[in-house]
Amino acid sequence: MDAGGPRLPDTVLFEIFLYLDHTDVLSVGLVCQQWRAVSRDEFLWKELFYRYYRVSRDVPRHPAAVSWYDEFQRLYDTIPCVEVQALKEHNDQVLHLSFSHSGCLFASCSKDCTVKIWSNELDISLQHSSNMRPYNWSYTQFSQFNSDDSLLLVSGVFVGPHNSSSGEIAVISMENFTLLSRVRNKPYDVFGCWLNETNLISGNLHRIGRITSCSVLWLNNAFQGIESENVNVVKRLFKIQNLNASTIRTVMVADCSRYDSPDLLLDYEEQLAASSTCPVFDLGSDSEEEEAKPKQLPEPAVQELPDAGGVPAEEGLQQFFDDLMEGRVRPAMTDTELETKVAELFVRNRTKPPEPNLLPTDSNSKTKYLIFTTGCLTYSPHQIGIKRILPHQMTTAGPVLGEERRSDEFFDSLDHVIDIHGHIIGMGLSPDHRYLYVNSRAWPRDCVISDPMQPPPIAEEIDLHVFDLKTMKEVKRALRAHRAYTPNEECFFIFLDVSRDFVASGAEDRHGYIWDRHYNICLAKLQHDNVVNSVAFSPVEQELLLTASDDTTIKVWRSPRAVRVRQARRPRPRKLLFSWLMNQNS
């Protein structure tokens, strides 16, 4: 449009741009003189933002944004939605991806029983591959770098005697890719995780009855070949009773030290309280500017053990047996209900009480949370258990098998429990460890579980819940878009990942998904040819995302802005040839 031509009213011009694709909006803005005149009009960009992205008008602008124009451009230009590379070195389903903290390397696990280490350069390349079949592994399923990226934890399924399946954790040195140690891990979907640079957490499971068991979580030194008999290489961390066929799975560790200075506050009232002192940073970059301390919120109540009305556990158990034998227990109990009732009575006075004051009281706290999936009604994981790890517990030094506790304290209680009311199929922490994101498939409303071996049917739609680990409360509404189709007994873990501004997840519908954490909107669908099992953001560049699929490929996705930057770095022969011809003509 020529500057001297007829001028459309701004409202009409704006309505035209509302129905253009946003790529057209930005490109037209470069050549249209009239659009330049209104391109920085905040009212127009605010209207365009809310209407195009379908964001509720109750949602304020991102606390670090300087204008609605910049916000619109951020959500268009910095989402890693452009496929730039497909890695096909695996020859079976790819199950998990994990980046090193530096972002220079990442690892992939697969049903082909290898863990592969990749170099994250301009073009990603394979650096090393370790085959775990010589150690009787069936496949690799999870990996995690330690805090200084010197060691890699690899978790897999181990085939033992008589074809029994359990789990095993291997520790690999990143200096020369040698195998340093191996640790048994049962059940295998405990996965395992690092507690600090040299100590990792594994699990074991002991059956007590048909549907009653005990989960023991162990702290292991990564270097098992210590020659001194006076140095422990393993120590029992927690011992927790499981009822109704449930078990502890999917352990992870959250560091509480940054809860008062998160990268992004998700509660809008907290954002408002912090906005007066909140520094502004470029949302399109990955600078680690921190926000001011939010206001203190009341502490949530921790889980309490059932009260027996002051009756000692031994007397309560004896009274129950007397009532049972004399027919005073009505209605008649099934074998499953009887086992659960006896286990509950037995454990009541044999459990160490929860830690008081679950939440850290100062921002410099060295306290960490052990987070895991569990349950109380059925075998499918439907609760999140949280247990505080105190500083003196973060080393294998000291008593080996929990001798510090009283002889009658057999079990540890959970400090907090979050009930999901559905089958949990994925968990991930925000980079500051303030927020926990949980993939779940909901149970029907008001469902009743009468048999722990028959859990309720689960929804195809996946809910992505968000919990604030400072308040232990759910924040925002659940994110939705992705779907899964397998029933309870075949349900598998779908790994998600969280960056400073985005959250991503795989799905069984052959797509990966990206949402904006602040606006709670789905921004991109990433195509694969089969189930997407895992996603991973680069920890230093959130405009780089990896997705892993059952189609045996790892896809590399970058933002439109990152793609332009990469293309600008490459030589352009045609442009050079054109310049040479112009010089010849002159």
Q: In whole angstroms, what is the distance from residue 252 CA to residue 386 CA? A: 10
**Helices and strands, number each (H, E), in the chain:** 10, 30
Same domain, residue pair 154 and 57: no
Cβ 132 vs Cβ 570: under 8 Å? no
Is 336 inside a domain boundary?
no
Same domain, residue pair 88 and 216: yes
For residue 424, what pLDDT is reported? 96
Task: Annotate 47-59 with b (16+ C-beta within 10 A) or e (fewer).
Answer: ebbeebbebeeee
Q: In whole angstroms, what is the distance from residue 208 CA to residue 93 CA? A: 35
Bridge partners for 465 per DSSP: 438
Same domain, residue pair 98 and 202: yes
Same domain, residue pair 56 and 111: no
Q: Is the full-model pTM beyond 0.85?
A: no
Give me the number of domains the chain comprises. Answer: 2
Domain CATH number, residue 28:
1.20.1280
Cβ 69 vs Cβ 105: under 8 Å? no
Range of the domain at 30: 10-78
For residue 24, what pLDDT is reported? 53
Is 503 inside a domain boundary?
yes
Beta strands in 411-509 (DSSP E): 411-412, 416-419, 422-429, 435-442, 462-468, 473-474, 496-498, 502-505
For residue 264, what pLDDT is reported? 84
Same domain, residue pair 509 and 375: yes
Handedness of CA 213, 219, 223, 225 (dihedral sign): negative
Cβ 236 vs Cβ 222: under 8 Å? no
Domain CATH number, residue 530:
2.130.10.10
Return the SS3 of 332: coil
Is 197 inside a domain boundary?
yes
Nearest Cα residue to 539 out of 37, 144, 64, 61? 144
Same domain, residue pair 92 and 22: no
Low-confidence ranges of the chain (pLDDT < 50): 1-9, 11-13, 16, 22-23, 29-31, 228, 276-311, 317, 361, 363, 401-404, 407, 577-578, 580
Is 23 inside a domain boundary?
yes
Cβ 467 vs Cβ 479: under 8 Å? no
For residue 483, what pLDDT is reported? 86
Is 521 inside a domain boundary?
yes
**Last residue of a domain, which of 53, 78, 103?**
78
**Last residue of a domain, which of 44, 78, 112?**
78
Same domain, residue pair 62 and 131: no
Same domain, residue pair 71 and 87: no
* Residue 390 neighbours by CB distance under 10 Å: 10
